[in-house]
Amino acid sequence: MNAKVKIMRHDKPHFVPTEDEIAECAYFIWESEGYPIGREEEHWRQAQTQLYFTRAVDDALESDDEA
């Protein structure tokens, strides 16, 4: 079975989250988990991943709308 693979280039400036956006997202993750101590790095990485994923999906949807 041949599957089409869409290669996307993410050189749009809005694709990369800023440190402020990551910090805000990490704060909400920390808050939603009941303010645990000592998991700052985990929350930071989780926030980065979440923001990148969300923006990649949004970018893909935008690209499909333009096609």
What residue spans define the domains of the chain? Answer: 13-66
pLDDT score at 47 = 96
pLDDT tens digit sequence for 15-54: 788 999 999 999 999 999 999 999 999 999 999 999 998 8
Q: Which long-range contacts (CB under 8 A, 24 or more apart) does 10-16 make?
A: 10/55, 10/56, 10/59, 12/59, 14/55, 15/52, 15/55, 15/56, 15/59
Amino acid 19 reads E
For the whole model, what pTM was predicted?
0.68
Higher-pLDDT residue of 10 and 23 is 23
Does the pLDDT at position 5 exceed 50? no
d(CA 63, CA 2): 21
How does residue 13 score in pLDDT terms, banded at 50, 70 and 90? low
